[in-house]
Amino acid sequence: MKQVFFQNDSVYMIMEYVKEDLNCYLQCKKYIENPKGWLKQMLAAVSYLHRQKVIHRDLKPENVLVSADGILKLADFGSARERFMDEINLTPQVTTLSYRAPELLLGSEYYSSAVDIWSVGCIFAEFQTSNSLFESIDSKNQSEVTTIALIFEKLGTPTEDSWPGVSLLPNFPQKMPLYPQAAEIIPNLDPLGNDLLMKMLCCNPTNRITADLALEHPYLRGFG
């Protein structure tokens, strides 16, 4: 935001012009030159939001702008909400499907700022592959059921031991195969990177890493 002024009973906002978003960048370049730096920028921005008690609720590459000097800027706060407790009762129908956290897909009415961390984890994975981690081949007809099946297949099916109460959530698929827990998510990502990604893409939101702790992870420590 550069300036705000009133004229003829209207409000005008002058904002920085950023012509490219992260989705366009990934489609055009197919790789990220500075994945650690960009991940750190996103986490720092999300950490700031969460300290202000704001949940973005729609983090995806299209909502991350890339300035000419390589600075990432979070955009589109139309779904953002302020939270007053650790968990809030809001609609789970938020966040684009491929970046939607399991607790939302499974119909939990209560969720926390951990939903943003899941979305950042999905974007981080996309840095490595240039493809959405949990998007089906027929993405136009992808459903919540398809998405949760992709998540469980890639990460392992959560159990009552790993996520107490998960089987009681409204949309939990009772006949879902018991997929084993993944040892790594991205084969060409180094062990520290995979460890951080696993912590960000932890199905149990209670055990999911926070933005502040992610910034202190050894994968990013001392970088930038």
User: What positions carry a catalytic annotation?
Assistant: 58
Q: Using CA atoms, how far apart are residues 26 and 49, in angstroms rounded to an integer?
A: 25
Tell me the angle at which helices 191-200 and 114-129 cross, rounded to the nearest 10 degrees.
140
Q: Which two tokens stand for residue 171?
A: 């949309």
Q: CA 65, CA 174: separation in Å to the nearest integer? A: 39
What are the φ and ψ backbone dihedral angles of 14, each rounded to 5 degrees? -100, 120
Task: Measure the CA angle with vertex 204, ends 202 and 104; round to 5°.
Answer: 100
- Residue that has been written with the tokens 């950042």 in this structure: 120
Q: Are 102 and 173 in contact (CB under 8 A)?
A: no
SS3 173: coil
Which residues are within 8 A (CB) of 148 and not within 5 positions of it... i.e. 6 or more apart?
102, 105, 106, 171, 173, 176
Distance of CA 163 to the CA centre of its chain: 19
Q: Answer whether 60's CB lies under 8 Å from 99's CB.
A: yes
